[in-house]
Amino acid sequence: MQVSLPNIERVERVALPARESAIIVVDMQNDFVKPGGKLVVPSAAKTIEPIRRLLEKARRRGVKVFYTQDTHYEGDPEFAIWGEHVRFGTWGWEIIEELRPQEGDIVVRKTRYDGFYGTPLDDLLKVYGIRNLVIVGTVANICVLHTAGSAALRWYKVIVPEDGISALNDFDFHAALRQISFLYKGTIVKSVDGVEFQ
């Protein structure tokens, strides 16, 4: 049976108020991105440069930057699903060197797919008066999707640059974009270069 890819509305550009916007970099950790990682997403490496450009632009405009860091400990039940990965304190758990957090950035450790579940992320975003979230990282249909969905359910405006996310296959990639745009009314931007901060 052949499955057609879902229709997704995309925009070329989006302009966001810098003071009310934040970047969330989802799980760009060695185990997911780098050769030798435990759960490498093959296309994740292609997103490093676009994400780097987005972060550079955002920091110049004073946009707050958050990272989620998937974090697991000895005997974590999730290991039964995916095998051991991003175990606390290991090389695989670390955020990749090319995108390492800078002074003033905030790293939120999470133990499930959703960056909001059991973390202070929502409280922190409210402290800084954030209303718009530009979400990038991996994996598109898992941690990116669940974080985007959870953000939308809290009435944040969600923006996802297509070249800033990655998935294990094309279907998962497009299905995640479809859910974000259709179900959560997020904005899909063709490129990080189309995201502007004012």
Is 76 a residue of the active site?
Answer: no
pTM: 0.96
Reported as a single tens digit per residue, the pLDDT across 167-183 is: 999 999 999 999 999 99
Catalytic residue, chosen from 31, 64, 70, 143, is 143
- Given a contact cutoff of 8 angstroms between Cβ atoms, the answer to whether 161 and 192 are in contact is yes
Specify burial of residue 130 (Cβ count, 10 A radius: 0-12, 13-18, 19+): buried
Is 110 a residue of the active site?
Answer: yes
Alpha-carbon 14 to chain mean position: 18
Q: How many CB atoms lie within 10 A of CB 94?
A: 15
pLDDT in tens, the chain (198 residues): 666 666 899 999 999 999 999 999 999 999 999 999 999 999 999 999 999 999 999 999 999 999 999 999 999 999 999 999 999 999 999 999 999 999 999 999 999 999 999 999 999 999 999 999 999 999 999 999 999 999 999 999 999 999 999 999 999 999 999 999 999 999 999 999 999 999
Cα of first residue to Cα of last residue in the chain, in angstroms, is 47
Class of domain 14-197: alpha beta
Catalytic residue, chosen from 31, 34, 64, 110, is 110
Is 46 a residue of the active site?
Answer: no
Catalytic residue, chosen from 27, 31, 114, 163, is 27
